[in-house]
Chains A and B, each alone.
Chain A
Amino acid sequence: MSDTLIWLVAIPLAGALTTLLLPRIADAVVMAAGLATAIAAGTLLYGVGTQGAMIYEIGGWSAGLGIALRADGLSALLLMMIALVMLPASVYSRTYFSKAAERARFWPLWLLLWTALNALLLSGDLFNLYVTLELLGLGAVALAALGGGRAAVEAALRYLLVGLLGSMMFLAGVSLIYAGYGTLDMTALARIVEPGPVAGTALAMMTAGLLLKSALFPLHFWLPPAHGSAPAPVSAVLSALVVKAAFYLVLRLWLEVFADAVTPAAANLLGVLGAGAVLWGSWRALRAERLKLLAAYSTVAQLGYLFLFFPLLQALPPGPARELAVGGLVLLALTHGFAKAGLFLAIGIVQHHSGHDTIRELDGTAQRLPATTFAMALGGVALIGLPPSGAFLGKWQLLAGAVATGQWLWAAVTLIGSLLAAAYIFRVLGHAFGHQAYPNRAVTVASEEWPALLLTTMAAVVLGLAGAPVWRLLENGL
């Protein structure tokens, strides 16, 4: 059963190599590899749910000398989300990249990105995390630059340089840890790390690098151009998954490995930056001219909500209240992943059919592309946090936690952020309805539209109604 962990990395990697060697059957290989990875992720989720956290020591060497892969409730859930986002996005990409030559360049990078995401979530070794971060970063940049055109390449280059700066800071932190504690294994470190200058500085360096990669305000400047000019499926994955991976690492480091070394002041700093992200990101989204930029700034804002949880978790003592808060955090992250992916795919469809994604000129999109507009609306529901979306549950926990610990500021920020989100979503929908007659058919191009619909439905409905298992799964981990 613990073999599943290595299969989750091996399958997409093998798939990437196969698509590179046999480009003619690449489409089929991608689907096969995607399905296999999704099944493996499901198996892992089931395994973690029944048996608890799993460890796999690569090469049979004990963790420390060798590298160990680990999975618990949190990583299993995120791995499932990744698979469930990548699959529909892959289907969408088949239509998006109409020329076989384009697809031949796209698929290997796409599957390598999936490999990087899985490898990052499963890694239990700090230096291995650095390597997976680099793999993720380079893959994301290469995919983002595929859009061609000056804006995309410039944004991709900036993304690369910022990413490299972040990786170097992370590596510096890892070196300090190895110097001070003599091991790179995260489980072992969680036991032996003590509060002090070594742990504090190392954590600060690593967090700084990861904050750059997760685009937390004010280090978010690279995200809107990069996500705004990348091809639609790439933007979807960048916003939904790649920045989430960096956030996951911050969560892991702060709540587990360095749990003893974290101070309330540091947690509050993250909270303040998160609040800035929520307010600034939502404001810029409201003022955005283009749909893709709106979605990108929305990502900045939504990530801010995730960081707002840190001061709460710091203030809550271990117990049921804290577990509820962690569950809310995870649910919010999952919902945003699905919603943003679906939204970007829908925007891609709009761009494809209208030739542009300017919000003011969306007139009549609802009539021309009803299913797509419905998908955007569902995504919007999840982004605002209306019931029954998973985000509603997540934000509820955020508000409850803030009130319970007396940190009213975060509650206020959440409410203002949600209002702003409602404003920018309704603005888009308002422009989307024109004066034409309503069509007879709901779906315009099935293969293009159902992935977006599926993803946003997951976010807006499924995760909210079926959210309870999330808490059960997380009991084993944080």
Chain B
Amino acid sequence: MLTAQLLYALTGCLIMALGLRTALLHASLLRRVVAINVMGTGVFMILLAIAYRGPELAPDPVPHALVLTGIVVAVSATALALALARRLNAEHADE
């Protein structure tokens, strides 16, 4: 068992849990968006740890592609969430 692989995978789990906790508990919308991004990062770390096969062998490219896709999806969702928040602020200001 590669220690690096396990180390990164476990850290990924930890980060995912941290993100989840803040996403559920914190009230600020911006913080929740950051927390969901951090949660995503945790999952990406797990995937990349799965892909790592040690310093000698080339890593598994499929999880790399999956994480790339995931990063783009995450930024799309972040952009939409922030735009909705902005519109909400504008609605509040008009009241």
Interface size on A, residues (CB 8 A): 24
Residues of B within 8 A of A175 (CB): 43, 46-47, 50, 63
A154-B88 contact, Cβ under 8 Å, with A171-B43, A175-B43: yes
Main secondary structure of the interface of B (DSSP, over half): helix
Q: Is the CB of A172 within 8 A of B46?
A: yes
Residues of A within 8 A of B46 (CB): 172, 175, 179
Kindly identify which residue among A137, A138, A150, A179 contacts B91, using a CB–CB cutoff of 8 Å: A150
**B32 interfacial by beta-carbon distance below 8 Å:** yes
The 11 listed contacts between A and B (C-beta, < 8 Å) are A127-B66, A131-B69, A138-B77, A150-B88, A153-B88, A157-B84, A161-B33, A161-B36, A164-B36, A168-B40, A178-B62
User: In residues 15-50 of chain B, which contact A (Cβ within 8 Å)?
Assistant: 16, 20, 23, 29, 32-33, 36, 39-40, 43, 46-47, 50
Known: A137-B77, A157-B29, A157-B84. 5 other contacts (CB 8 A): A127-B69, A141-B84, A145-B87, A154-B88, A164-B36
Q: How many of chain B's residues touch chain A, expressed as a range?
A: 20 to 34
Q: Is the CB of A150 within 8 A of B63?
A: no
List chain B positions with a Cβ less than 8 A from chain A: 16, 20, 23, 29, 32-33, 36, 39-40, 43, 46-47, 50, 62-63, 66, 69-70, 73, 76-77, 80-81, 84-85, 87-88, 91-92, 95
Residues of B within 8 A of A149 (CB): 91
**A156 interfacial by beta-carbon distance below 8 Å:** yes
Distance from A433 Cβ to chain B, minimum over Cβ atoms (Å):
37
Kindly identify which residue among A131, A134, A153 contacts B77, using a CB–CB cutoff of 8 Å: A134
Assembled-state Cα–Cα distance A178/B9 (Å):
13
Q: Is the CB of A178 within 8 A of B91?
A: no
Interface string of A311-349 (1 = CB under 8 A from B): 000000000000000000000000000000000000000
Main secondary structure of the interface of A (DSSP, over half): helix
**A142 interfacial by beta-carbon distance below 8 Å:** yes
**A165 interfacial by beta-carbon distance below 8 Å:** yes
Q: Is the CB of B77 within 8 A of A157?
A: no
**A210 interfacial by beta-carbon distance below 8 Å:** no
Assembled-state Cα–Cα distance A172/B45 (Å):
11
4 residue pairs, one from A and one from B, having the closest CB atoms: A150-B91, A157-B84, A179-B50, A168-B39
Kindly identify which residue among B16, B29, B85 contacts A172, using a CB–CB cutoff of 8 Å: B16
Residues of B within 8 A of A127 (CB): 66, 69
CB-CB nearest in chain B for A180: B50
Q: Is the CB of B43 within 8 A of A141?
A: no
Interface string of A337-367 (1 = CB under 8 A from B): 0000000000000000000000000000000
